[in-house]
Amino acid sequence: MKEILIIFIAALIIGAAINGYNNIQSQTPEPKNTSSDNNPLEDGNNTTDTAAGENATGNTNTGGTIGDAVRTANANAITAKELTDSSFTDTVLKANTPVLVDFYATWCGPCKRMSPVIEQIAQEYSDKAKVYKVNVDANPLSAEKYNITSIPHFIVFKNGQMTDSFVGGQAKTTLTEAIDKQLN
């Protein structure tokens, strides 16, 4: 009988400890967002991401910091503009420069991770190409027209024709090389 009572008390103590830990975790504040565009990825930390840029030591790689990408994009205020189903044809298909379109959704984690990279590309290519974003939930016709079944999905257009298509998170260089091919 004593053994059962001891096991029962131990179980209560462990359960209380776990419950207390969960309560502490649920009360931990989220990192403050200091970005002017409320980007959920900008937390001020200098962490390396495989999307683009230089790492914390300044060595070039296929990574970079999300924070660096956001700060660069925000500093110059050139952003990837949002398109709708009704503006897609006139804006993308009739463009006289290469166009990169990011098909995304607000709930999509990989889309959120790519957002600062897309903004950085928009800023860097502002005089050579156009960069747009299409929310697939709000604009299902455009997503359906280009058979967007997975996101993020990036399409490069030139003279109204699709020239490249990439599904999932991509290195910045993959997207910029696709644009560069259309510039030559």
Catalytic annotation, residues: 108, 111
At 156 the three-state DSSP class reads strand
Q: Cβ(117)–Cβ(76) under 8 Å?
A: no
Closest among 154, 144, 141 to 51, alpha carbons compared: 154
Instruction: In whole angstroms, give the CA distance from residue 134 to residue 61.
Output: 29
Q: What is the DSSP letter of 91?
A: I
Distance in angstroms (rounded) separating the CA atoms of residues 177 and 46: 26
